[in-house]
Homo-oligomer: A and B are copies of this chain.
Amino acid sequence: MTTTFTAKDVQELRQRTGAGMMDCKKALEENNGDVDKAVEHLRKKGIAKAEKRAGRAASEGQVVSYIHHNGKVGVLVELNCETDFVARTDDFKQLAKHIAEHIAAAAPIGVNKEDVPAEIIERERRIAEEQTRASGKPDNIIQKIVDGKIEAYYKDVTLVSQPWVREPKKSIGDLIKEASAKLGENVQVRRFARFQIGEA
Interface residue tally for chain A (C-beta within 8 Å): 29
Q: Is A62 an interface residue (CB 8 A)?
A: yes
* C-alpha gap A62/B78 in the complex (Å): 21
Taking CB atoms, residues of chain B closer than 8 Å to A62 are: 71-72, 197
> Is A95 among interface residues, defined by CB-CB distance under 8 A?
no
Which residues in chain A, 53-90, are within 8 Å of chain B measured between CB atoms? 59-67, 70-78, 80, 87-88
Indicate if A153 sits at the interface (CB-CB under 8 A).
no
A74–B78 CB distance below 8 A: yes
A193 within 8 A of B: yes
Q: What chain B residues lie within 8 Å of A87 (beta carbons)?
A: 71, 197
Q: Is A94 an interface residue (CB 8 A)?
A: no
**Sorted from nearest, which 7 A-B pairs have the closest CB atoms?**
A63-B74, A65-B65, A193-B193, A76-B76, A62-B71, A78-B195, A63-B195
Q: Are B72 and A67 in contact (CB under 8 A)?
A: no
- A14-31 interface mask toward B, CB cutoff 8 Å, 1 = contact, 0 = none? 000000000000000000
Interface residues, chain A, with chain B CB atoms under 8 Å away: 59-67, 70-78, 80, 87-88, 93, 190-191, 193, 195-198
Verify B59–A198 contact, CB threshold 8 A: yes
> Is the pair B197, A60 in contact by a Cβ cutoff of 8 Å?
yes
B64 lies within 8 A of A197 (CB)? no
Residues of chain B lying within 8 A (CB to CB) of residue A72: 62-63
- Nearest CB in chain B: distance from A119 CB, A: 19
Which residues in B have their C-beta under 8 angstroms from that of A66? 65
Do B71 and A63 touch (CB < 8 A)? yes
Q: Complex: how many Å from CA A76 to CA B68?
A: 13
**Closest chain B residue to A93, Cβ basis:** B71
Once the chains bind, are B67 and A74 in contact (CB under 8 Å)?
no
